[in-house]
Structure formats: structure tokens, C-alpha cells
Amino acid sequence: MTTAHGPSTPKIVQDLPVIDIEDISFWYGEHPALRNVTMSIERHGITAYIGPSGCGKTTLLRLMNRMNDLVPRIRMTGSIRMNGEDIYGPDVDVTRLRRRVGMVFQQPNPFPKSIYENVAYGPRIHGVKSGGFLDEIVERCLRRAVLWEEVQDQLEESALELSAGQQQRLCIARAVAVEPEVLLMDEPCSSLDPVATSRIEELMLDLKEDYTIVIVTHNMQQAARVSDFTAFMLHGELVETGVTDAMFTTPRDRRTEDYITGRAG
């Protein structure tokens, strides 16, 4: 009995959950990565996954926008529903799904193009052609990612010239440009210094007004600072999930307590 089930998950938002994960198990070849994971992602909140390396939290995150489709020899059972629709269903358009579920990666990965083209990339492939409209989108998204003031005079310069922290905010602006509902963040601050990290954290708190954010992090202080809900994973299993404050003060599971107090993991 290691999974926390839906009914015990506290609800502070009136709406239904955005994403329902139900009994997901997952294997890379013969190697099991996830075992019977069931939980919900609440709308307009920040949900943080914590746990030691290799516990499956990144794998779970990448299942939510089907990024693992690109990996050969994988197997999955269970279902993930977004707004009630099975995202692994036969009629699902993966590119449309990924447009609704954006992703920011562990390492900043801007395209080797100009700052402008990085942000405009998503809208362009989804059919925006008008230059004036693109300009508006680029400015709005860069402002949303609190990057506009720093880069407004160098939009045509290479994105690779930016600092790592600026690159990561550019990646957030790029993800926001396709207007997703959910923003998945896979350890977005692990390669950043403390100043850049705190700027990203402020940005996340700001963004949750409009987006549902799911973040994977190694950093328990970060989870405590920014998230509304926390899920603790261990060896491919979901040990405990709940409201962040409650979980960090009164964890229900012994293993969670060991991990957050630094005795294990």
C-alpha cells in the first residue's frame, strides 16, 4: 500500500483536476521505471515532484506530454487523462497535445537562432504568419518571462549569447508562446546559480495565475518555497502526495519523513 489515492488528495481549487494519472506502470526495455502511480494535477497550482535520483519523477513528467514517445523500446500500462480525455488514446494528435502541455528542460536549450526566432518558433509552426502579430506575441511572452527589459534591444542577436539564467527564461517564454494550459518543468534550476534560480522561482509564482505548473526538483527547499502540492516518489512508486505545507510539517509516511529530514535518499 504505497500509493496515495485520489479521495485523500486535498482540493483547494474548485475545478476538476487538469490531469488524472491512473495506475501508470512504465518500463524501459525490461527495466521498470514506474509502478502503479495514481494521482491528480490540480488546475492553477504548482505541483512539485521530489525524490532521489532515478525514482521516476522525470519519467512521469515526460509521460504527461508524451515526450517518451521518441524513446525506443518502452512499455506502459494505465492511463493519463487531460480534462477527461485519454492522451494516449488512438485519436490523439500528439503535436496538439504538446502544444497544450508545454515543457521546460533541465538544461536551457534555446535554438541556435536569434532571441526573436526562438520565441516565434512555436507560433510560426502553428501557422502564425503575420509579422506584426508575431512581434506582439514575442514581446508579450518575453514580458511574461520577465526577460523583455533585458533583451529588447538585442532581439536579433543569437540566443546562445545570453547567460544560462536568461536562456532558461527564454525557454519559458518560448514555451508560453504556444499558449499551453500546463507547463512541465524538469529541474529547471539545476544548472543555474542562486540568483538566477530565485528569479525563475518568482516567475513560476507569477505564471501559476495562468498556467498549471508541474515541476520536478531535487531541491526540497525549492519545493517548499514555490509549490502548492508535493508528491514524493521512491523507486518508481508514489509514496505520498499532499498539500506542501502539510507534507513538510507532518508527513504521513515514514519514508517521506526520512527523506525530507535528510536521513535517506
Partner 1 sequence: MGSKWSKDDALIWLSGGGLVLCFLMVAGLVLVIAVQGLARFWPQDLTRYVLRDGSIILGHETSRAGVRTIGSAGERSVAYRLRVETGNRERYPQGYVWLEEARIAGQDNPREAVVVEQVRAGEIFGFLDSFVDDGAVVARGYDAVRAHYQAQYPELERLRRQRALSIVLSSADGRQHTVSLANVRHIYAPNAMTAWDRIRHYAAGAWSFLWTPPRDENRHGGVFPAIFGTAAMVILMSVVVMPFGILAALYLREYGSPGPFLNAVRIAVNSLAGVPSIVFGVFGLGFFVYFLGGTLDRLFYPEDLPAPTFGQGGILWCALTLALLTLPVVIVAVEEGLAGVPLKLREASHALGATRFETLWRVVVPVVLPSILTGLILSVARAAGTVAPLMIIGAVAFAPELPVDGVWPFVHLEREFMHLGYHIFDTGFRPAGGEAALPMAYTTTLLLLVIVVVLNAAAIGLRSRLRRLYSLSAGQA
> Which parts of 199-258 interact with partner 1 (CB under 8 A)?
none
240: three-class secondary structure by DSSP: strand
Cα(123)–Cα(206) distance, integer angstroms: 22
Strands 19-28 and 212-216: unpaired
Q: Which of 226, 185, 182 is nearest to 40 (CA)?
A: 182
Residue closer to partner 1 by CB (options 99, 235) is: 99
User: In whole angstroms, what is the distance from residue 162 CA to residue 33 CA?
Assistant: 36
3-state secondary structure of 101: strand
CA distances (Å), origin 101, targets 49, 52, 95, 177: 17, 25, 10, 12
Q: Which is nearer to partner 1, 17 or 108 (CB)?
A: 108
Query: Which one of 7, 84, 90, 112 is in contact with partner 1 (CB under 8 A)?
Result: 112
Sheet holding 212-216, edge to edge: 101-104, 182-186, 212-216, 46-50, 229-234, 237-243
Q: Does 122 bind partner 1 (CB under 8 A)?
A: yes
HSE-CB of 137 using CA atoms within 13 angstroms:
24
**Window contacting partner 1 (CB under 8 A); options: 38-46, 49-57, 74-82, 122-130:** 122-130
Asked if residue 188 binds partner 1 (CB under 8 A), the reply is no
191 binds partner 1 (CB under 8 A): yes
- Binding span for partner 1 by CB under 8 A among 41-49, 128-136, 158-166, 256-264: 158-166
Q: How many residues bind partner 1 (CB under 8 A)?
A: 32
According to the binding rule CB under 8 A, does residue 175 interact with partner 1? yes
Give the contact letters, 67-106, x = binds to partner 1 (CB under 8 A), - = no. x--x------------------------xxxxx--xx-x-
Among residues 8, 152, 163, 261, which is the contact residue for partner 1, using CB under 8 A?
163
To partner 1, the closest distance from the beta carbon of 114 in angstroms equals 12
Residue 164 engages partner 1 in binding (rule: CB under 8 A): yes
* Contact partners, residue 215, CB within 8 Å, separation at least 6: 46, 47, 48, 49, 184, 185, 188, 204, 223, 226, 227
Q: Which part of the chain contacts partner 1 (CB under 8 A), choosing from 159-167, 193-201, 230-238, 244-252? A: 159-167
Q: How far is the CB of 193 from partner 1 (least distance, A)?
A: 12
CB of 181 within 8 A of CB of 100? yes
Binding site for partner 1 (CB under 8 A): 65, 67, 70, 95-99, 102-103, 105, 107-113, 121-122, 124-126, 160, 163-164, 167, 171, 174-175, 178, 191
